[in-house]
Every structure is written in structure tokens, then in C-alpha cells.
Structure 1
């Protein structure tokens, strides 16, 4: 077998080729793209016999996506995506000086897949449909995070010179708030906005009790507050106009991408299983599917799926000391989605609610209880995906679900 360590950068790859004894057969700096991949295949081909095939080549690289990785998988190489933290710790086995170079990292990666690939995770063989769901859901979530960042910047600016706007608009990303702030970003001009214009903006946002809400906004904008000198107010107003324009665009693109998420997710064969889970809507279910992938061999058990999620605890034991802690290294997007699922599930599932209440009764805090509930829900999802069945409340919570006749008794 041949073992390749690939330390990648944006425009090149440092690679090292080893045999089964760890002897270096070749090393090179290859350009990104077709020319680089072609050269890599040529280097590997020089050391493969006629009877060997591509599966005899094992590649270690610090990423699991991109055209380069897809090209390696397409040929038939065994590709292992290795966490950079693992590479850093493995590097320390050979040297504690702290020295680092790209060629040394390529050597380390080759050593890892040669000696310890049984403890590493190969790149998942997810379907193209799953990859498409991942692309749109990650883009959608990233825009939501950007929306939150710009909303907080807008809020900070308004607090400095226009506190009346914070009193008038509970949600600064709402359409009526952005429309009115774009037209009147200064306290004086906002106080002169007629009720009819405010009412029109509220109606365009399709709010219930539009007249009442319009009057509340008008009164808040006309209330007396501390302010800034005119020249400073003008400067802040220019900043607010820019933030409002960005948020308006983000709102439009988030809505458009959300439709793409629903469309791609709806085409996936496991979509019905995901949306049957308590707390998972089409959008949230798409996020969970995107991060788990759909490779049937990726998770050997429910425990493996829970460990990947980051909801299962870790144990640290030394002598008589034993501590159980929450995992801090995890997929941020996945743990966020599962946490939202758990929060929603306590309102949608009687079994989930009772499990959550039992944890609280034992003295477990709210966040820890949600994490444990999320861990349980991941196990339920794993069983449904494995057996190709939709969620069933009594099967999921056999000892927790209180049936109506028992409740009445």
C-alpha cells in the first residue's frame, strides 16, 4: 500500500508518499487544480505495480471538501479527512520544539494514515443530493448569522444617538423598522413622520392590529430622549442608512435561500423521516441532514452519531478522580440545530417534555437538560434512519409517554 500526506493551501499542496514501512518514496509541491492532481497521479503511478489498484492508495488531508478532494475520491483512493487539532497533537509525538512547516505536516499526515488510520474517519460517501442540501443550508445559516451581526451593530448605533428607535421597534430586522429607519434615520425627522406613513409601512409588513402598532411606533418616536449634537447625529444617520441597506438585502437573500433549502431538502429520500422528528421543521431538518450527511456506513451506532453531534458527555478519569463534562469540540452548526430541536421538542412531544421535566427535577440545569434531551433525540433519529421508519411517540419514549387514559385515571 501507498500512503500520501497532503498539506493543502489555497494555491498549492505539499505532498509526501510513503510505503508500508514509513520510508519516504517521494515528495513534491504541487499547484492547485488539474495540473497538480495530474502530477500527483503520476507520482503515485510510478510506485504502483500493475496488479495494484487505486484502493491501495491512502490519503490524509486536513479537509473533506473541495474539487481536489472530490478528484481523489473519484479515482478510488481512500481519503481520510483529519482534524488539524489531531495533526498538531500527532506532530508533538516527534518533536516538542514547536517547529512547523508544510513539508513536515505532509510527513505527519502520511504517518497518521499509515499507522493510525483505523482510528481516523474516512471522508463520508454522501450523495450529491445531500451535498446540495449542505451547500444551501450552510449558506442560509451563514446569512442569518450575518443578519444578527449587522442588527447588533445597528442597535449599538441607535443606542448612542437615537434611543427612541429602540423603544419603537422591538425587532430591528423587521420590514417596517427598516423601511422607516431608511426614510428617517434622525430623531427629528422620525418625529415628523406622519401616522399615515407609519401605518402604511406596518400594513406592508402584514402585521396584525396595524393601527394600534402604528400609533405605538409614532408615540415612541416622538417621545423625549437624550441625543447628540446635530453634526454627530448626521454622522450616525449615515452609518444607520448603510446598516439598514445591508439588512434589507440580507432579508431578501435569506428568504430566497430558505426556499432553496426547502426545495433541495424536499427532494431528499430521507426528508420525511427528518420532518417527522419532534422539533424539526423543513429548514431545521435540512440543517441536521446537511451536517450528518446520508452515508449509511458513516455512523456505526447511535453512540457514534451522538459523539459526532457533541451532545454526549466525555469522561476524564485519573486514579480516584472522575469527572463527566460536556464536549467543547463539536460541529457548531450541528450542535446549534440539535439544541433548537430540543427546545422546540419540549412543546411538541409529551415524551420529550416529561424527560426534560425529570432532568430538571433531578437538579439538572436548563442548558444541560436541553443538551441531554438533544442527545436522546439524536439517538431516536439514528434508529429511524437505520430502520427507514418515521417517528413514533410511544416507540421513542416507551417509559415516559403518558397515555390519555392513564392521565385521566
Structure 2
């Protein structure tokens, strides 16, 4: 007998339904989100079939303690996209309805009807999962820091334009340590005007600056003493307090990002796949760790380079109906992989002659900048798939041979 199970996930409890190959309900149970609930769930599966590992479980999330417990127990888990599951609701009824019990049975029916179209969740090592979670946290923290920096810049522009222009020509702008140290001591134009060059030199030294300290202090001193429009004193002081609060949040966010990256770097450097990722041009420590975390280390996850490219949104989508034919990029994809691929391909243009040549040929063929970068990204992914399969490092000569045929197809950017 063949059975299928569906697990409707909840914060406090989970509903599981088991059906047979005809779609008849065999068992239903509601369990708590704890150790006893996991034991009860596995017991129900064992009662349905002695070899419970032969019953796949469909679920709409791959995260959570219950999923981790099921995978640790060796139970096959198939992660289903919630959007795809929602489209199944109208297969048997015109009026859609929703309940925890019904959703669990619906998930089981998805596996029964289209189980061959959904693969079980990949078997990832603990190290790869840890790298994935930490890189995602690091990316979110970085983005939150950029958002705070934008808010701080907007506030400063309303009452303190000198603070905005003081470091605008330098990488990082007001997120630089020296900028944050000076702004913490001079949150208003009035306080900045009272800073002497000696005090500025002390602040720059405390921020970690080691070169041209005297010249930089003189430049800031002259800038802060330049005549400019000012808010009334009371309003200026209030806006200074606002900027100080944002600056404290920005400091905490940047320190958190640095702390997370320290842990990411330690974990990623210990993984055996890291040297292969780092051998590719344009892949620095951050991008390599993100790719490793999102792709994982399951050798059976991507049977071919085509599967890997599709998962990374590096291959186009073709829409053809009658005389209509359109080729466009994949809009629904993992945003982290799409962003990482764009940055990887763009960085490789300056350090890989083969990547630069491919990019120039695609541009000459009519591709726009994003589409040409996706071509480079897709080419690198093919090489990455080969290197991971064979355990070898990147070779520019093999990746971009001089006799490489030139394709004339274009992709709509």
C-alpha cells in the first residue's frame, strides 16, 4: 500500500492527514508543537505503515522545530510552495474553503496527484544550514543598517547639511567609524562649531584613522565653521536628539552585522566546499558564503547544471502561444540568489577576461546590462556545478575556451 501525508503547520499545534493512493482519508491527528507531539505524529505514521519512512509528508515550510525533528527521524519531507498549494484548492470545488484539517488533507493530495513534480527537501549538513541562517541574518542586518543610515542622512539634511557633505565623497559616507565618532560629539551645528582641531584629531584617532589626521581635522574644522542656513536653536537641539538616537541605533546595527559576519566567516572557512567557491573570479568571502548557504551541500540536489541555473533564476522563461513568442527572465525566484548572481557577475567583469568577453558579446548581440550579467552568471553556474561534482577548482581556460561558439539568441532584460 502507498500512503501520503500532509502536515498543516501552526505555532502551537499541527494537523496531519494520511491518505491512501485512492485519496481516501486513513488517519488524522492534531499534535502539539513539542517533543510529545513529534512522538505521537511518528507513532501514527508507524501505525499506518510499519516502514513509516516510506510515507512522504508535504508541508508548506522547511523551517521550525517540528520539521527539524521529522528530518532527524529520517522522515521524508517535501516542502511545497504556498502559492502552488493555494492553486490546488479549486481543483475539486468551485467555492474555496480553508481549515487546518482540510489543509493537511490538501497537502497530502498534492503529493498523491503530482508527487513526481515535487522533490523531497535536500539533505543538508548542519554546517551548511548554519551558514545559510547566519548569512541571511547578516544580509538582513546590513540592509537594516543601510535603511537607518538613509533615515539619519534625511534628518541631518534638514538641519545639519555640513554633516551630510563632510564624508559624502568617501566610501561608506556617514556609516564610516570616523563620521559616527564625530557626529556623536557634534550632533548639532552649534556643537560642531565649538570643536577645535585638536579635539577633532582626538576623535579621528579614536575612530581608528591612522593617516592624514591633521589634514582631515583641518578640513572638518573649516567645513563646520562655514556659514550656512540654520534652524532655530530649540528646533535644532530637538533634531540633534533625533539624530543622536538614530546614530545609536546605527552603531548597534553595524556592530551586530560585524559580529554576525565574524561567525559566518569562521563557519564558511571550515566547510570543504569553500575553497571551490572562492576559486571563482568575483566571489569574495561574503558572496561565496551566501551561495554556499543558499545552494547547500547536498550532492543530489541539482542533477545537472540546467537544474542549478533554473534554481538560481539564471535561465530565461519562454512564453509562446500561437504567433506570440516572448523570452523574459525569471521574476519569481530566491531574491538572495538573484542579488548574489548580479553582484558576482558584475565583480567578475574586472578580473575574468572570459567573463568580460562574454558580457561584451551579449551586449553587442542586443542584450541589456542585466540580461548580459545573467548570461555571465549562468555560465559561471555551469562551471560551479562541474567543480562541485568533481571537487576541482575553477580554471579560466576551461571555463572560457578560445573556441567558444557565439550564440545569437537574446534575452529580454
- 2:356, 2:190 → 1: CA distance? 50
Residue 208 of structure 1 deviates from its aligned partner by 4.0
- 1:265, 1:388 → 2: CA distance? 17
| Structure 1 SS opposite 2:175 | coil
Q: Which among 252, 255, 258 is matched to residue 255 of structure 2?
A: 252
1:64 and 2:81 are equivalent in the alignment: no
CA contact (8 A) 2:38 2:66 kept: yes
Aligned twin of 1:391: 394
1:341 and 2:344 are equivalent in the alignment: yes
Aligned twin of 1:53: 51
- 2:377, 2:40 → 1: CA distance? 46
- 2:197, 2:309 → 1: CA distance? 54
Aligned twin of 2:152: 154
| Structure 1 SS opposite 2:78 | strand
- 1:38, 1:67 → 2: CA distance? 13
Q: CA RMSD in A?
A: 1.8
Structure 1's unaligned 5+ residue stretches are: 402-409
Residue 61 of structure 1 deviates from its aligned partner by 0.5
Residue 156 of structure 1 deviates from its aligned partner by 1.4
Query: After superposition, what is the alpha-carbon deviation per residue over 1:337-389, rounded to whole angstroms, capped at 9, x for unaligned?
Result: 22111111001111111111112222322222222211211111111111111
> How is 1:12-27 mapped onto 2 (pairs within 5 angstroms)?
12-27=13-28
More displaced, 239-248 or 222-231?
222-231
Aligned twin of 1:404: none
Q: Which among 222, 225, 228 is matched to residue 222 of structure 1?
A: 225
- 1:168, 1:95 → 2: CA distance? 64
Aligned twin of 2:177: 175
1:33 and 2:37 are equivalent in the alignment: no
CA contact (8 A) 2:89 2:97 kept: no
- 1:100, 1:222 → 2: CA distance? 66
* Number of matched pairs: 398
Residue 96 of structure 1 deviates from its aligned partner by 4.6
Q: Which among 365, 369, 372 is matched to residue 368 of structure 2?
A: 365
Aligned twin of 2:3: 2
Q: Which among 256, 262, 268 is matched to residue 271 of structure 2?
A: 268
More displaced, 134-143 or 344-353?
134-143
- 2:403, 2:166 → 1: CA distance? 45
Q: Which among 197, 205, 214 is matched to residue 199 of structure 2?
A: 197
Q: Which among 295, 299, 303 is matched to residue 296 of structure 1?
A: 299
Q: Which among 299, 321, 324 is matched to residue 321 of structure 1?
A: 324
Q: Which among 238, 243, 246 is matched to residue 241 of structure 2?
A: 238
Residue 140 of structure 1 deviates from its aligned partner by 1.5
CA contact (8 A) 2:6 2:57 kept: yes
CA contact (8 A) 1:186 1:237 kept: yes
Residue 189 of structure 1 deviates from its aligned partner by 1.0
1:18/1:154 Cα in 2 relative to 1: closer, same or farther (>3 Å)? same
More displaced, 303-312 or 186-195?
186-195
| Structure 2 SS opposite 1:253 | helix
CA contact (8 A) 2:60 2:80 kept: yes
Residue 400 of structure 1 deviates from its aligned partner by 7.1
Aligned twin of 1:76: 74
1:223/1:368 Cα in 2 relative to 1: closer, same or farther (>3 Å)? farther
Residue 274 of structure 1 deviates from its aligned partner by 0.5
Residue 253 of structure 1 deviates from its aligned partner by 2.3
Residue 217 of structure 1 deviates from its aligned partner by 2.6
Residue 236 of structure 1 deviates from its aligned partner by 1.7
Aligned twin of 1:406: none
Residue 67 of structure 1 deviates from its aligned partner by 2.0
Residue 95 of structure 1 deviates from its aligned partner by 3.6
Aligned twin of 1:405: none
CA contact (8 A) 1:169 1:217 kept: no
- 2:384, 2:218 → 1: CA distance? 48
More displaced, 190-199 or 215-224?
215-224
Aligned twin of 1:133: 131
| Structure 2 SS opposite 1:287 | helix
| Structure 2 SS opposite 1:312 | coil
1:351 and 2:349 are equivalent in the alignment: no
Query: After superposition, what is the alpha-carbon deviation per residue over 1:86-145, rounded to whole angstroms, capped at 9, x for unaligned?
Result: 111222323453433333221211111122111012111011121121122222212111
- 2:312, 2:180 → 1: CA distance? 37
- 2:321, 2:175 → 1: CA distance? 50
Structure-2-length-normalised TM-score: 0.92
Aligned twin of 1:113: 111
- 2:96, 2:223 → 1: CA distance? 59
Aligned twin of 1:186: 188
